[in-house]
């Protein structure tokens, strides 16, 4: 059986690293990207800022308490996208089979080639041409390659060989397994499962009886089994816009105005790309930072701004408690249909 050779490339503190590259005065300083408003959240924290306990998705207010001397900068997405495009152009030199995961990380399938030499070359190209560093992992599948890239950050290069898989996995905390978030972590802890080795020693039938299909998946991942291919599809899976208000709001008119603006902007993006959207979702973050998402799937996909807004308005007024103060509202269009996809319309008789 021929095993795949998968590389996972993950840029180090991407946004912050770019700002430090472009402004030498920021090198060695705790740089926090996410806006200058106390209402925002951290997008990226430099490694210097992480020593203070600052991490991505943390409220800026909390970050400032931990790191009052930090340098807080707004997100410059146009700049970061340009650099991301340059990184992906480097990937294309070495393989046609690459899967973007986000603006700053990707999987590459280099089966049949010298994965280590390619990984070294990619790191070298990124450093020499873009003056940035990336951490890279190599293994036989996506799950293990990603774990490998996380093992030695920043600027690391780690290989997990086939005969090292079980020993590498055993001591890891169980939340290192894909899909094990805080809630699942607590459920597994109740069963006495704290480390990957605990899953390896558990009865798969019991896990399946408790968690169904997911029980089988976490058992297989605990043994390093992951059959998912690298999918060379860089089309957007969803598009959206969101806004954190300067003050918490509960005025429905303000919320509807935001949704109207999002609908216009997202409709224009769909038209520009030739996409249609089937699912329309609203994300709300309340004053206490709890988040709720509600969605509607249309029988006929659309890119019409009025249909998008009318659906979003219906979701807001019928599926949320808008008597609570709201910190953020977002509109997401997903289940996208691309120009080359066959379009199936539902027929009502």
Q: Which residues are the active-site residues?
A: 105
Return all residues near 61 (Cβ < 8 A) that are at least 6 apart.
38, 39
> How far apart (Å, rounded) are the C-alpha atoms in residues 295 and 25?
45
> How far apart (Å, rounded) are the C-alpha atoms in residues 342 and 229?
23
- Residue 58 sits at φ, ψ, to 5 deg, of -75, 140
Structure tokens at 216: 């089988």
Run of H or E including 99: strand 98-102
CB 135 within 8 A of CB 155: yes
- Residue 231 sits at φ, ψ, to 5 deg, of -105, 110
Going by their DSSP bridges, the two strands 276-286 and 134-139 should be labelled as unpaired
- Residue 271 sits at φ, ψ, to 5 deg, of -65, -40
Run of H or E including 286: strand 276-286
- Residue 218 sits at φ, ψ, to 5 deg, of -70, -30
């Amino acid at each position: 059986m021929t095993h795949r050779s998968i590389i996972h490339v993950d840029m180090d503190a991407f946004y912050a690293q770019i700002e430090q590259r472009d402004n030498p005065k920021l090198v060695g300083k705790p740089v926090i990207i996410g806006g200058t408003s106390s209402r925002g959240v951290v997008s990226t924290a430099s490694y210097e800022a992480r020593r203070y306990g600052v991490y991505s998705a943390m409220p800026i207010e909390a970050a400032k308490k931990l790191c009052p001397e930090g340098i807080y900068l707004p997100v410059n997405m146009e700049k970061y996208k340009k650099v991301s495009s340059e990184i992906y152009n480097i990937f294309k030199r070495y393989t046609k089979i690459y899967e973007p995961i986000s603006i700053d990380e990707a999987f590459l399938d280099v089966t049949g080639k010298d994965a280590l030499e390619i990984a070294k070359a990619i790191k070298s190209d990124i450093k020499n041409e873009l003056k940035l560093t990336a951490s890279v992992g190599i293994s036989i599948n996506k799950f293990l390659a990603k774990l490998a890239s996380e093992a030695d950050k920043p600027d690391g290069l780690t290989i997990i060989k086939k005969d090292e898989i079980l020993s590498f996995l055993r001591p890891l905390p169980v939340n290192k397994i894909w899909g094990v978030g805080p809630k699942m972590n607590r459920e597994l802890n109740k069963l006495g499962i704290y480390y990957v080795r605990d899953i390896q020693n558990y009865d798969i039938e019991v896990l399946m009886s408790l968690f169904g299909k997911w029980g089988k998946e976490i058992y297989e991942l605990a043994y390093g089994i992951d059959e998912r291919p690298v999918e060379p599809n860089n089309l957007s899976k969803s598009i959206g816009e969101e806004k954190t208000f300067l003050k918490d709001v509960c005025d429905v008119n303000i919320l509807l105005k935001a949704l109207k603006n999002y609908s216009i902007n997202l409709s224009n993006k769909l038209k520009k790309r030739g996409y249609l959207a089937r699912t329309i979702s609203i994300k709300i973050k309340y004053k206490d930072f709890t988040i709720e998402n509600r969605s509607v799937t249309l029988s006929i996909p659309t890119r019409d701004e009025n249909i998008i807004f009318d659906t979003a308005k219906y979701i807001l007024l019928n599926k949320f408690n808008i008597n609570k103060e709201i910190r953020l509202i977002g509109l997401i269009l997903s289940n996208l249909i691309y120009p080359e996809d066959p379009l199936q319309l539902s027929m009502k008789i």
